[in-house]
Amino acid sequence: MSKSEEKFNCSVNKIHYEKLNQVKANMPSLEDLNRLSIIFKALGDLTRLKIVNALLCDELCVCDLALLLGVTQSAMSHQLRILRNLEIVNHRKDGKVVYYSLNEEKIDLFKKEVEKVFSEEKLSSIA
């Protein structure tokens, strides 16, 4: 191990069981982590992130979303299909128009976990 690596590693092997138990008790379930992982993957794409951001305001049809984001309806449909397959968005048909909205359950889980990660307590411990 190089000198630069040494300063970032423990020089003794001491397990802090109290801290580990506390952290373990506050961790989300494996199911919740898997769902979050899917959401983060989907939102890792800028276009899909813009779509979700737009749908936070209101449900929108494919035409409106395409115009808003400056892409073709075909490109928009492709991105919405991905989000729909991941169950991040819901859709409903009104005649020939398809409207999209956010799956509140998925978004609520995402918000809850993001708030945990960026809570005041955790941010103040970093500073």
Q: What's the CATH number where 70 sits?
A: 1.10.10.10
Distance in angstroms (rounded) separating the CA atoms of residues 54 and 52: 5
Q: Is residue 104 part of a domain?
A: yes
Residues of the chain with pLDDT under 50: none
Burial of 96 (0-12, 13-18, 19+ CB in 10 A): exposed
Q: Is residue 11 part of a domain?
A: no
For 83, other C-beta atoms within 10 Å of its C-beta total: 24
What integer pLDDT is reported at residue 123 of this predicted model?
53
Q: Is residue 75 part of a domain?
A: yes
Q: Is residue 127 part of a domain?
A: no
pTM: 0.67
Distance in angstroms (rounded) separating the CA atoms of residues 111 and 118: 10
Q: Is residue 12 part of a domain?
A: no
Q: Is residue 56 part of a domain?
A: yes
Pair 66, 75: CB distance under 8 Å? yes
Overall domain count for the chain:
1
- The parent domain of residue 59 ranges over 29-112
Crossing angle between the packed helical segments 62-69 and 73-85, to the nearest 10 degrees = 110
Distance in angstroms (rounded) separating the CA atoms of residues 62 and 72: 10
Q: Is residue 102 part of a domain?
A: yes
3-state secondary structure of 87: coil
Q: Is residue 34 part of a domain?
A: yes
Pair 51, 71: CB distance under 8 Å? no
